[in-house]
């Protein structure tokens, strides 16, 4: 019997998994040598949340995203995605360090867009968008291309299917990178300073695309940005970091108009 889409939600509710945070940092410690970058960090992100991480350079924001992408390993504590530990997996009732297979499976639910666009330089736009869906998710080429075309329309680049990255502006490359991350249908989108490498006149188009995605999907977003207007528009929560700790958190309204902590005020005064 075909499964009704709604049934999945019913099953999730019955199992109680619908209330599980999408992302959970549980007493996470990360060090580089003697430098303790994250010091027993705790926070949770619910499914569909749009959370912006702000704070001075070096406060650990990028490290949080890199840990989620499994580009770095924790030195203590646990990161969970949809309730599953990222760096460990269950063997019977024991937790053991994650195998490469487990890491690959966990990574699949997370898409990341970096400051530098990191497109495959030898592939055209369509190939950039379909490579992983075909080879990692096992999608049919025609299906992957259909989805890629939808996404290119979303990011306003339908006429660039056959262009190579070097033929595109930085803003266009970044929009392709966003479409490429979405082509994997991730539950979570990580955005790391996605406009900082762009000429100022190209920033607005990229932010508009991200606003549209925020408005039209329920994807969970974790955003590191210095674009405070964008953070205010798109996110429902802001976490202010300093030296690997959350010094204040709240709605954008609270953080940007009425911060309680002197540290937050000083940071915002310096960048706005
Ligand atoms: P932010 O994104 O808030 O600017 P980062 O997460 O990039 O901060 O960096 C936090 C701290 O970790 C900084 O002190 C930085 O120098 C250090 N760090 C980050 N990555 C590495 C690395 N690969 N090796 C050594 N130190 C690192």
Written as one string, the DSSP assignment of 1-65 is -PPPHHHHHHHHHHHTGGGS-SEEEEEEEEEETTEEEEEEEEEEE-TT-EEEEE-STTSSHHHHH
60 CA from centroid of ligand 1 (Å): 6
Q: Is the ipTM of this complex over 0.85?
A: yes
Q: How many beta carbons lie within 10 A of that of residue 184, not counting itself?
A: 18
Residues 6+ apart with CB under 8 A from 65: 112, 190, 192, 222, 224
Q: pTM of the prediction?
A: 0.89
Mutational test site, ligand 1, from 28, 35, 67, 71, max ligand atoms within 8 Å of CB: 35
Q: Is 90:35 a contact under the CB 8 Å cutoff?
A: no
Q: Provide mean pLDDT across the span 73-90.
A: 90
Q: Out of 11-15, 135-139, 162-166, 211-215, which region has the weakest mean confidence (pLDDT)?
A: 11-15
pLDDT at residue 15 in the model: 40
pLDDT higher at 221 or 95: 221
In the numeric block, which tokens belong to residue 48? Answer: 């569909």
| CB half-sphere exposure, 160, CA atoms < 13 A | 23
pLDDT at residue 13 in the model: 46
Q: Provide mean pLDDT across the span 33-60.
A: 95
Q: Render 136-202 in DSSP notation, one character per residue.
A: TS---HHHHHHHHHHHHHHTT-GGGTT--GGGS-HHHHHHHHHHHHHTT--SEEEEESTTTTS-HHH
pLDDT tens per residue, range 163-218: 999 999 999 999 999 999 999 999 999 999 999 888 888 889 999 999 999 999 99
Rounded Cα distance, 47 and 44, in Å: 10
Pick the closest to residue 190 from 97, 112, 103 (CA basis): 112
pLDDT at residue 105 in the model: 85
Q: Is 248:255 a contact under the CB 8 Å cutoff?
A: yes
What percent of the chain is modeled with pLDDT above 70? 93
pLDDT at residue 272 in the model: 67
Residue 264 DSSP label: H
Q: Provide mean pLDDT across the span 80-105.
A: 87
Pick the closest to residue 189 from 156, 212, 170, 172 (CA basis): 212
- Whether ligand 1 lies within 6 angstroms of the CB of 139 is answered as no
Query: 120 pLDDT exceeds 70?
Result: yes
Q: Which atom of ligand 1 is nearest to the CA of 64?
A: 6
For 134, the 3-state DSSP assignment is helix
Length of the chain counted residue by residue: 272
Q: Provide mean pLDDT across the span 61-83.
A: 93
**Residue whose token pair is 């790391």:** 192
Long-range Cβ contacts of 264-270 (<8 Å, 24+ apart): 264/240, 267/54, 267/55, 267/56, 267/240, 267/242, 268/228
pLDDT higher at 13 or 254: 254
Query: 8 pLDDT exceeds 70?
Result: no
pLDDT tens per residue, range 230-260: 999 899 999 999 999 999 999 999 999 999 9
- Whether ligand 1 lies within 6 angstroms of the CB of 60 is answered as yes
Query: 147 pLDDT exceeds 90?
Result: yes
Q: Is 178:213 a contact under the CB 8 Å cutoff?
A: yes
65 CA from centroid of ligand 1 (Å): 11
62 CA from centroid of ligand 1 (Å): 7
Query: 14 pLDDT exceeds 80?
Result: no
Pairing of strands 188-192, 110-113: parallel
């Amino acid at each position: 019997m075909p499964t009704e889409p709604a049934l999945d939600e019913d099953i999730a509710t019955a199992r109680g998994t619908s209330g599980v945070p999408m992302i959970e940092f549980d007493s996470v410690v990360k060090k580089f040598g003697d430098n303790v970058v994250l010091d027993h960090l705790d926070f949770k992100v619910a499914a569909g949340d749009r959370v912006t991480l702000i704070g001075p350079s070096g406060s650990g924001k990028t490290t949080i995203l890199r840990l989620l992408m499994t580009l770095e390993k924790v030195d203590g504590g646990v990161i969970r995605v949809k309730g599953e530990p990222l760096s460990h997996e269950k063997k019977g009732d024991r937790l053991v360090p994650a195998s490469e297979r487990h890491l690959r499976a966990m990574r699949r639910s997370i898409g990341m867009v970096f400051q530098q666009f990191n497109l495959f330089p030898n592939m055209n736009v369509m190939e950039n968008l379909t490579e992983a869906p075909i080879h990692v998710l096992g999608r049919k080429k025609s299906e992957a291309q259909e989805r890629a075309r939808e996404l290119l329309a979303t990011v306003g680049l339908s006429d660039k299917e056959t262009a190579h990255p070097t033929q595109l502006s930085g803003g266009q490359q970044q929009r392709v990178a966003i479409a490429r991350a979405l082509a994997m249908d991730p539950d979570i989108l990580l955005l790391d300073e996605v406009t900082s490498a762009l000429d100022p006149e190209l920033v607005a188009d990229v932010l508009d695309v991200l606003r549209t995605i925020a408005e039209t999907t329920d994807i969970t977003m974790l955003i590191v940005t210095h674009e405070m207007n964008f953070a205010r528009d798109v996110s429902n929560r802001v976490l202010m970091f300093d030296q690997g700790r959350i010094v204040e958190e709240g709605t954008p309204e609270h953080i940007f108009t009425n911060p309680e902590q002197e540290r937050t005020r000083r940071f915002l005064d310096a960048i706005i």
